[in-house]
Structure 1
Amino acid sequence: MKRFLFCLLIAALASIVCGCKHNAQGSESQDAQASATIAAGKQYPVKGKVISTDPTHGEVTLEAAAIPGFMEAMTMPYKLRTPNILTELHPGDQITGTLYVTDTNDVLDQIVITAQGQPDYKPPIQYHVLNPGDLVPDFRFLNQSGKHISIADFKGKALLLTFIYTRCPLPDFCPRMSQNFAKIDKALAADPALYAKTHLLTISFDPEYDTPAVLRSYGGAYTGEYSQERFIHWDFAAPSKKDQEAVDEFFDVGATPEKDRTITHSLSTVLIGPDGKVVHWYPTNDWTPEQVLADIKQVIS
Structure 2
Amino acid sequence: MDRDAPAPSLPDVRASSEHVGGATVLRCMMAPMRSSLRLQLAFFCSIAGFASIGNPLRSEAPSPAESHEAAERVFTVNGIVRQPARDGRIIIAHQDIPGYMPAMTMPFNVADTPDVTELKPGDRVRFQLHVTDDASRADHFERLGRAAEPRPSSALPKPGKRLKAGDTVPGFQLADEEGRPLDGAAYLKGHFTVVSFLFTRCPVPEFCPLTARKLRDVQSALQGDPRVRDRSQILVITIDPEFDTPTVLKAYGESVGADPHFWKFATGNPEQVKTLMGEFGLYAERNNGLLDHTLATAVVGSDGRLLEVWRGNGWKADEVADFVRFRAAPMAEKTGE
Query: Do Structure 1 and Structure 2 share a fold, with TM-score over 0.5?
Result: yes
Q: Is the CA contact (8 Å cut-off) linking 1:130 and 1:281 kept in structure 2?
A: no
Match of 1:7 in 2: 26
2:278 pairs, out of 238, 245, 249, with: 249
Unaligned runs of 5+ in 2: 1-19, 31-78, 91-106, 112-120, 122-150, 331-337
| Matching of residues 67-106 of structure 1 within 5 Å | 84-85=153-154
Matched position secondary structure for 2:81: helix
Rounded Cα–Cα distance in structure 2 between residues aligned with 1:9 and 1:250: 21
Q: Is the CA contact (8 Å cut-off) linking 1:207 and 1:238 kept in structure 2?
A: yes
**Is 1:127 aligned to residue 163 of structure 2?**
no
**What CA deviation, in whole Å up to 9, does each residue of 1:18-54 have, x standing for no partner?**
xxxxxxxxx9235363573565489xxxxxxxxxxxx
Matched position secondary structure for 1:130: coil
How far off is 1:257 after superposition? 4.7
Match of 2:210 in 1: 176
> Residue type matched to 1:135 in 2?
T
Q: Is the CA contact (8 Å cut-off) linking 2:165 and 2:307 kept in structure 1?
A: yes
1:211 pairs, out of 245, 267, 270, with: 245
Rounded Cα–Cα distance in structure 2 between residues aligned with 1:126 and 1:31: 23
Match of 1:286 in 2: 314
**Is 1:146 aligned to residue 179 of structure 2?**
yes
* 1:129–1:7 distance in 2 versus 1, CA, 3 Å: same
Number of residue pairs matched? 208
Rounded Cα–Cα distance in structure 2 between residues aligned with 1:195 and 1:264: 35
Rounded Cα–Cα distance in structure 1 between residues aligned with 2:230 and 2:27: 37
Q: Is the CA contact (8 Å cut-off) linking 2:295 and 2:313 kept in structure 1?
A: yes
**What CA deviation, in whole Å up to 9, does each residue of 1:39-95 have, x standing for no partner?**
5489xxxxxxxxxxxxxx9xxxxxxxxxxxxxxxxxxxxxxxx9735x67xxxxxxx
Match of 2:305 in 1: 277
Match of 1:106 in 2: none
Rounded Cα–Cα distance in structure 2 between residues aligned with 1:169 and 1:279: 30
Match of 2:190 in 1: 156
Unaligned runs of 5+ in 1: 12-26, 43-56, 58-81, 89-122
Rounded Cα–Cα distance in structure 2 between residues aligned with 1:170 and 1:262: 18
How far off is 1:134 after superposition? 1.2
> Residue type matched to 1:150 in 2?
D
| Matching of residues 194-209 of structure 1 within 5 Å | 194-209=228-243
Q: Is the CA contact (8 Å cut-off) linking 1:268 and 1:283 kept in structure 2?
A: yes
> Residue type matched to 1:29 in 2?
V
Rounded Cα–Cα distance in structure 1 between residues aligned with 2:28 and 2:160: 22
Rounded Cα–Cα distance in structure 1 between residues aligned with 2:269 and 2:249: 14
Rounded Cα–Cα distance in structure 1 between residues aligned with 2:292 and 2:205: 14
Rounded Cα–Cα distance in structure 2 between residues aligned with 1:33 and 1:264: 21
How far off is 1:5 after superposition? 5.2
Match of 2:262 in 1: 233
Scaled by the length of structure 2, the TM-score of the pair is 0.54
> Residue type matched to 2:169 in 1?
V
Rounded Cα–Cα distance in structure 2 between residues aligned with 1:133 and 1:154: 14
Match of 2:83 in 1: 31
> Residue type matched to 1:178 in 2?
A
> Residue type matched to 1:298 in 2?
F
* 1:196–1:249 distance in 2 versus 1, CA, 3 Å: same
Rounded Cα–Cα distance in structure 2 between residues aligned with 1:8 and 1:158: 30
Matched position secondary structure for 2:175: strand
Q: Is the CA contact (8 Å cut-off) linking 2:237 and 2:267 kept in structure 1?
A: yes
Rounded Cα–Cα distance in structure 1 between residues aligned with 2:323 and 2:159: 29
Scaled by the length of structure 1, the TM-score of the pair is 0.60
* 1:216–1:36 distance in 2 versus 1, CA, 3 Å: same
* 1:196–1:297 distance in 2 versus 1, CA, 3 Å: same
Rounded Cα–Cα distance in structure 2 between residues aligned with 1:255 and 1:245: 6
Instruction: Note the aligned Cα RMSD (angstroms).
Output: 3.5
* 1:242–1:264 distance in 2 versus 1, CA, 3 Å: closer
Q: Is the CA contact (8 Å cut-off) linking 2:27 and 2:290 kept in structure 1?
A: no
Q: Is the CA contact (8 Å cut-off) linking 2:197 and 2:296 kept in structure 1?
A: yes
Rounded Cα–Cα distance in structure 1 between residues aligned with 2:194 and 2:153: 34
Q: Is the CA contact (8 Å cut-off) linking 1:168 and 1:262 kept in structure 2?
A: no
